[in-house]
Structure 1
Amino acid sequence: MAYSGLSSSRTTPILAAVLATLLIALLFQISIKISATPLLPYRICRVDECAEREAQGVVGGTHLTAPFLFKHNRVMLNLSHAIDAEVRERLLPKNTGVFWTKHNETFRLGMGISMFHAGHCLLYLRGILQDHIDGRVTADTHSSAYGPKNDEEKLHLQTHVAHCFSYIAQQVMCLGDSTIEPPWIDTDEAGNIKEYGIDGYGVHHKCKDTTRMIEMARRGRTETFEDWGWKDGDTVESVFGYEDESPSNST
């Protein structure tokens, strides 16, 4: 199973610049390696306790307060092909974040996890930007590895670009990071402000602990889970809990 998503060989320089700005901002937020710093302890709940908390409108608990310092990240800011594998490892598991559920005795269905869907889209957008930087995509050629080979593929990839841009934008709004970011300031010898701006570096954010999502994605490489009867709004934590005490046994 693969996520649908991205690109057009007619992407304009303006769109490329917009995508680059979005990419740099989001590669910090949606990396599966939240921090090199150990996470703060967070409360573990059993499946029934998680369900009770959600029914009461209590979202999570302290598991949503893992500290993450936004900083200059040499990997995420580098569009070189030399580190493609390293970037992919940070954003997406080897199985693209899909885990499998038993549909019947002969067929199984892939279930996606939203964070990894966004990671897939970021990687695809990164590839498109690389092609533009390398000069491999123009309005009249289809030489890009990501570019279409014919008009039908071109239309599909245009739809894919729009899909991924829309998906990532909605996820950013859904995450709703309300951290207040102070500006950096450049002053003259007298202490007068010459220039200032906001890059978001050097600020700690309260982020969701992604450990359980990563764990389930890894298990999804080799295990098939019983169909639990998906409902709108289901999450990895609400279905499988915050530790391995889920009633959904794998096969």
Structure 2
Amino acid sequence: MSRTTYPLALERWRASQPIFVTDEASQRLCAVPVDFLLRSSAPPCEFLSRIVEMCVAEEGSLFDRHGNSLLQSSQLSEGPLLWKRQDGSNQACTFKRGPRFKYARRAPVEGEDSSTMSNSKRSSQNQNAFRESLLVRDGSCLLTDRRYTTCTAAHILPQSRPEYYEEVMGYDPGYLFLPQYGFLVSDELHHAFDRGEWAFWPEGENLVVHFLYPQNESLRPLHGKVIPPERFRGEAAEHPRRDLLLFHYQQCVHKYFRGFSADLSGD
């Protein structure tokens, strides 16, 4: 099956040392800039392991080129890292399905303006109620605090793909216009989110902004910004759902850290 390829995050983090992770079959699993990891408000070795887990189906652990485990390490090793499968096999790992944005079984096209097709600007009774609920909860752009009049009420996952919500949540939620399914963000950042260029990483009680592929250099300083739960008004149950945010994050990882699609066919 043919793969759709994407520019790696390394292209936008050129001044950073890259870390390449391979399996024991010499298959590259991901490529991650060191600066991205160090500025992500998460333990770098543990976080890198999470990234690999998003890319492949087989559980495992990271080792450096000298055969030392990075499990308990707080510092990243120089040179390529090895992902050893927990099952002891040295066979090639299986890549997880993705990235999935606008289409469930079609890889997104690089350069699309809004690959998730969230239709968040469309006027409807449901969308208007969705926007009002996010205005009350968020007040302004979560990342820049820009005035709400320049913001979009964005869905975390495409409103056009309710099956994603069912896959993540374990049931069909039906109504997708509750505040926990979205967030308020400036129009520019909304399109970048839809393209998978940035995402929210749940870290403890906080959400951390991660720019995997910052096309606009002026947005790079937002990488690592911490959004505490106090930033949101209202009940915790109405805050952005972390399971949905993690699904979106995984698709971003597939696109810009793995760099290609897997297990997708046209629909």
* TM-score, shorter chain, exceeding 0.5: no
* Larger Rg computed on CA atoms: 1
Q: In which range does the TM-score fall when normalised by the shorter chain? A: under 0.3
Normalising by structure 2, we get a TM-score of: 0.23
The structure richer in helix per residue is: 1
Structure with more contact order per residue of length (Cα contacts < 8 Å, sep ≥ 6): 1
